[in-house]
Amino acid sequence: MAKRKRQITGAKIEKYIKEGRGQGIGKDYLPWLEIQDVPSDGRATRGKGWTTNRRHDFMSDLERDYFYILDFSDEVTDIREQYPLLPLEETMIIAEEIGVKHPMIPHTGEPVVMTTDFLITVGNKNVARTVKPAAELEDKRTIEKFEIERRYWESRHVDWGIITDLDIPDYFVRNIEWVHKEFHNEDVPDLGPFVINQLQSMLAKYLVEGDTIARSCLVCDEQLGLEVGTSLALFRHFIGRKIWSVNMNERIVPTLKAKDFQINESFRSVQAKGG
């Protein structure tokens, strides 16, 4: 079977634009590139965002990890990944002005649409961020492409910057990853508000008294007649929804106590939410 072509030709650019790629905001945004559109080393992933309530496409672990930080932030209101630098002619002109080669499709020499990894809305302004391993920042060709990208955003008065693995706090990200998929917890509507409120009150009491997370959750499961693991999933849900908070800069270990556990006052009367 012939290998599927992944080249982005002029015709495909028009097709992508007609499909709405690189357009829209919030849940209606479509990334210019999806994981099936580019060669992968197996690290491309997808995940549903809290902020946008849509599926996101990540081309690397580093992109996914930076996304977790953005999605957890209260200041970020929109996250658009794989954002296209259009029109194509503009980046071509920039490349010519600074005397570097514009990114091309191998074997055809046709110019390719450049993308920025993330266009982020913070408050009432947008910022653009490119994600790259620090080890690759010494590569001359990488720097040339970054300069095209930087000038593109500068002309639009949008702050642009580079995020590397050195900017990603590992414990913080791993904690967000651990609670992330429970943000939309399907047990919440099935259990109902009465059971959820009981569980919140009971579990918080044990955690405040200093019991370990795992033991507190197991006791709640037993006393409320819940399937084992339900309370732990809801613990993650409460942290993700920021109804509760713990020290996110130290790795959350269920066999240990919840460090710096507290009930957030602004969420004290807020019930958990479902999917």
CATH of residue 228: 1.10.10.10
Q: Do residues 17 and 112 share a domain? A: yes
Per the CB < 8 A criterion, the answer to whether 137 and 85 are in contact is no
Boundary of a domain, candidates 168, 191, 210: 168
DSSP sequence for 36-59: GGS--SS--EEEE-TTTSSEEEES
Question: Does residue 4 sit within a domain?
Answer: no
Q: Do residues 148 and 255 share a domain? A: no
Question: Does residue 115 sit within a domain?
Answer: yes
pLDDT tens digits for the chain (275 residues)?
A: 333 444 456 788 999 999 999 999 999 999 999 988 776 555 778 889 999 999 999 999 999 999 999 999 999 999 999 999 999 999 999 999 999 999 998 878 889 999 999 999 999 999 999 999 999 999 999 999 999 999 999 999 999 999 999 999 999 999 999 999 999 998 899 999 999 999 999 999 999 999 999 999 999 999 999 999 999 999 999 999 999 999 999 999 999 999 999 999 765 444 445 54
Question: Does residue 130 sit within a domain?
Answer: yes
User: Count of domains in the chain?
Assistant: 2
Boundary of a domain, candidates 168, 193, 212: 168
Q: Do residues 117 and 38 share a domain? A: yes
Q: Do residues 65 and 161 share a domain? A: yes
Across 132-207, the runs of DSSP E, i.e. the strands, are 159-163
Question: Does residue 88 sit within a domain?
Answer: yes
Amino acid (1-letter code) at residue 7: Q
Q: Domain residues for 79?
A: 10-168
Question: Does residue 173 sit within a domain?
Answer: no
Q: Do residues 98 and 221 share a domain? A: no
Q: Do residues 161 and 193 share a domain? A: no
Q: Do residues 122 and 199 share a domain? A: no
Torsion angle of C-alpha atoms 133, 137, 42, 88, degrees rounded to 10 = 120
Q: Do residues 54 and 186 share a domain? A: no
* pTM for the whole structure: 0.89
Q: Do residues 61 and 151 share a domain? A: yes
Tokens 């050195």 sit at which residue? Answer: 166
Which of helix, strand or coil describes residue 69? helix
Q: Do residues 164 and 261 share a domain? A: no
Question: Does residue 198 sit within a domain?
Answer: yes
Which DSSP category does 27 fall into? G
CATH code, 116: 3.40.1350.10
Question: What pLDDT does residue 138 have?
Answer: 92
Question: Does residue 195 sit within a domain?
Answer: yes
Closest CA to 204 of 177, 223, 231, 179: 231
Q: Do residues 105 and 135 share a domain? A: yes
Question: Does residue 229 sit within a domain?
Answer: yes
Q: Do residues 57 and 185 share a domain? A: no
Boundary of a domain, candidates 168, 190, 222: 168
